[in-house]
Each structure stands twice: as structure tokens, then as C-alpha cells.
A = this chain, B = another copy of it.
Amino acid sequence: MPRELELHPDRLLPVDPSVRGLARELYASVRGLPVVSPHGHTDPRWFAGNGTFGNATELLLVPDHYVFRMLYSQGVALEDLGVRNRQVDPRAAWRLFAERYWLFRGTPSRMWLDWVFAEAFGMGVQLCAGTADLYFDTITEMLASDAFRPRALFERFNIEVLATTESPLDSLEHHAAIRASGWKGRVITAYRPDPVVDPDFEGFGANLDLLSHLTGEDCRTWTGYLAAHRQRRAFFASMGATSTDHGHPTAATANLPASEAEALFGKIVAGAFTPAEAELFRAQMLTEMAAMSLDDGLVMQIHPGSFRNHNAQVFERFGRDKGADIPTRTDFVHALKPLLDRFGNERDLSIILFTLDESAYARELAPLAGHYPCLRLGPAWWFHDSPEGMRRFRRMTTETAGFYNTVGFNDDTRAFLSIPARHDVARRIDCGFLAELVAEHRIEDWEAAELARDLSYDLAKKAYRL
């Protein structure tokens, strides 16, 4: 007899009855606000083509590295889950997952998935070995219906705007198709130049050539390369982009004299560079991108500090984004100084900082954002996009940076169906935090009500210029 699946209306709200009452009221006032998703990794092709999503395994298991990394850590082979393996029976893969769903107890994946199961698919029983087939069949069947096509879900999810993330080498054809289709959903792109900025990126040299081809600039010269960036940024902006995104190993920035930057670029394009020179080039490019942002108004996001593809064997066999990216200690104080020395006091520049190193929240990031006009703090990111992670973020940043140097929530996900669940978790946690401040008489109830809306909706729109 499978157990009932039911999402409790008070989930994630503080336990104390009086605080929970306050939190409930705050949450009630924001739960229906539209979703603003200014940074994420959904596929624009979905909204362009509006096709169906396939089966449960393809949609919910194979692309979700949060899910399969946990199964992998407990001895399940990635190929048996269908990762880079089209031979696998999707139902068999789903069963492996369902039988081990208890591994996710206490994780945000469990909360997001239960939301998807209950709210998106209307499942009334819990996922376990005994319900694996019921789940697989029900979900797969529903996915074939029109109500589960991407645009229908976008509308049902009350998404006001959704940003995807593309390389400068992307033609943005899907974004063009969305615009040409007459559909009213607002899906915009964001400029993520890592493939042509990071000399260690796979295929970097070929990427430069492709960038030359796309722009008509000679991207093997420094001036041509920079011009190509400017051109692609303008093109991205024309396709709705309001932001750029930079995923570097560290937060290092540099501010070299033009001639040194050019000479460095020469080494980089020649492929004759040391690891330190690659790092210096990435560092210089953050400052160049800030300069361009000051010109074209694109908001700059820096996502530093992930050691990508830590598991060499998994990378070799299965490629990127397989749950083996591991955070590292990240310095911001020294790393950002060159950029800040040049642009730190620009009120028209907006740089949103993210971190995977929570020890920097109170020590470095809140003090930096609480001083420099150009800096804002992105929300708790990735591993920290979780109830406890969000609470730590608020507790460790608010007292120094305030709420208004933060930028609302990012779901940052490729798991489209979980987007409402993720925003819902953020709204619940923020309302709970605000309710605690009210209960301790640190802010008043009317302030909490304003803040609940700011954190759920307004700050994201403002920070990302949406």
C-alpha cells in the first residue's frame, strides 16, 4: 500500500506558532506573484518548437545532475540511468531511481521533485519501488498531452520572464523563432562568453574562428576580438538579453595596460600560454566585459569558484555537467580589486556576485556590496539553493549589506518543471526569515510585507533591468 503524497501548506515555514502565523500571512501575499527567472539554463528550443517532452526518465532523471550524482554516489552506474546512454530502457532507469528515492531525504531535490510530482502531475502517492511504474506511466502519458507542452507549462507556471543562457557562438535561432511565432511568453537570452573567453575551454581555438566567422571580425587580433564581443552583445541585447554571465574558476580580475592585454591575447591565441597566463586572461576579460557593460547596460553576473569536472574518468566518459563540479575556497577581496579600482564607483554599472564559498558571505561579499555602488549579491547558489543554504545567506549577508543590495531569487536551473517549486521554496524561506525578524521586533510587520514582495518579485526585475 503506497503512502499518500501531499504537500503540506506550511512546509518550510518556521515552527513556532506565532512566527508561523506571521510567515503564513507574508507568504500568502506573495505566493501568487508571477515568476521572474532572470538566470537559468532551460533550452530555448523547447519554447520555439513547443514539442512534447518525451518520457519521465528523459525529462526528470537524465538531465538532472542533482539527482543522478546522488544515485552515483551510492553506487548506481550513470549509464544504467541513461546518462549518455540511449540503449538503456527508460523504465528500468526510472526504477533504479524510484527504488532509491529515500536517498534524497532532507535534500532540496526531494522537495522540488515532490512538488513536480504532486503539483505538476497530480500524483497522489509517494515515489518508491512499488510506485515506480505507476509514476513512469502516468508522467510519460501526461507529457504527451498538450497541457504539458513547454508553452502551456510556461503559462500555467505564471512565468513573467525567463532567461536562458547562450554562448556568443549561438545563433539564437530559437529565440528568433519564439519572437517570430507570435507567442506572448517572454523568453530572453543571456550572454555567457566562457567558450571564447576561457583559454582552457574545450575547443577554444576553433571557437575563436567561429566567432570570427559569425561577426566578420578577425578574432585573432585583440581589437577584432573585442569588437566581436561588442557586436555579439548587441545582438544578444536585441534578442532580449539584459545580462551577461561569467563562470570562471576564480573571481580574479585584472586591469592591464592595453598593450599588455594585447600581448597577452597574442600568447593566448597562439596557444602558447601558461596556466597563470590563462588565469590572467580570464581576469582581464572580466574587466573588459565590465567596460562593455558600462557602455551597453548589460548587467554582469560572476559565478566563480567551481572546480569543474573534478572527476576525470566521469568527464572523459560522460562529459561536462555530470554532478562532479566541486566548489572551492574563493577570495573576492583581492580578486575583484583591479576591476573595482577601475569601475567600482560607477553607479550605472551593475555586477552581481555569486559564491559557492559561504565563508565569504559575511566576511567579504556583504562588506563589498555594502560599500561599492556597482556591486550586488546574487542569491544562494547551486549547492546552497536550499532551505538551510538560503537561511545562511540571509543571516550572513543582511546585517551588513541589507536586503537592497541583494537581487531576489535565481532558479538557475535546466529542470524546467521545477522552476515554480524553486521559487516557492525561496518565497517560503524568505517569508520565514522576515517573520522571524518581525517576531524579534527587528523590523515591523508592514516592512516585512514590503520586503516579501521585493524579495519575491521586484528586486529581481530591478536588478536585472527587466
A314 CA to B331 CA, complexed, in Å: 22
Cβ-closest chain B residue relative to A348: B75
| CB <8 Å contact, A106 and B398 | yes
User: Which of A131-139, A278-286, A382-390 contacts its partner?
Assistant: A382-390
| CB <8 Å contact, B400 and A370 | no
**Which residues of A23-37 have CB atoms within 8 Å of chain B's CB atoms?**
none
Q: Which residues of B contact A383 (CB under 8 A)?
A: 362-363, 366-367, 399-400
| CB <8 Å contact, A15 and B326 | no
CB of A151 to closest CB in B, whole Å: 32
Q: Which of B12, B75, B372, B404 contacts A103 (CB under 8 A)?
A: B404
Chain A 427-463 interface 0/1 with B at a Cβ cutoff of 8 Å (1 = within)? 0000000001101111110110011000000000000
Does A357 make an interface contact (CB < 8 A)?
Answer: yes
Chain A 110-142 interface 0/1 with B at a Cβ cutoff of 8 Å (1 = within)? 110000000000000000000000000000000
Q: Which residues of B contact A56 (CB under 8 A)?
A: none
**Which residues of A49-84 have CB atoms within 8 Å of chain B's CB atoms?**
69-70, 72-75
Does A48 make an interface contact (CB < 8 A)?
Answer: no
| CB <8 Å contact, A441 and B373 | no
CB of A339 to closest CB in B, whole Å: 12
Q: Which residues of B contact A403 (CB under 8 A)?
A: 105-106
| CB <8 Å contact, A13 and B440 | yes
User: Which of A197-205, A290-298, A304-312 contacts its partner?
Assistant: A304-312
Q: Which of B15, B384, B387, B399 contacts A19 (CB under 8 A)?
A: B15
Chain A 407-443 interface 0/1 with B at a Cβ cutoff of 8 Å (1 = within)? 0000000000000000000000000000011011111
Q: Which of B11, B356, B363 contacts A356 (CB under 8 A)?
A: B363
Does A238 make an interface contact (CB < 8 A)?
Answer: no
Q: Which of B69, B75, B369, B400 contacts A371 (CB under 8 A)?
A: B69
Count of chain copies = 3
Q: Which residues of B contact A375 (CB under 8 A)?
A: 73
| CB <8 Å contact, B73 and A373 | yes
Total interface residues on A, using CB and 8 Å? Answer: 93
A330 CA to B197 CA, complexed, in Å: 31
A372 CA to B444 CA, complexed, in Å: 45
Chain A 376-405 interface 0/1 with B at a Cβ cutoff of 8 Å (1 = within)? 000000011011110000011011111111
A30 CA to B325 CA, complexed, in Å: 37
| CB <8 Å contact, A107 and B400 | yes
| CB <8 Å contact, A314 and B345 | yes
A369 CA to B72 CA, complexed, in Å: 10
CB of A336 to closest CB in B, whole Å: 9
Does A323 make an interface contact (CB < 8 A)?
Answer: yes
CB of A105 to closest CB in B, whole Å: 5
Does A364 make an interface contact (CB < 8 A)?
Answer: yes
Does A340 make an interface contact (CB < 8 A)?
Answer: yes
| CB <8 Å contact, A363 and B440 | no
| CB <8 Å contact, B15 and A442 | no
Known A74-B405, A442-B11; judge A311-B366 contact (CB<8 A).
no
Ranked 8 nearest A-B pairs via Cβ? A8-B441, A11-B441, A386-B399, A106-B398, A359-B359, A15-B439, A75-B347, A327-B363
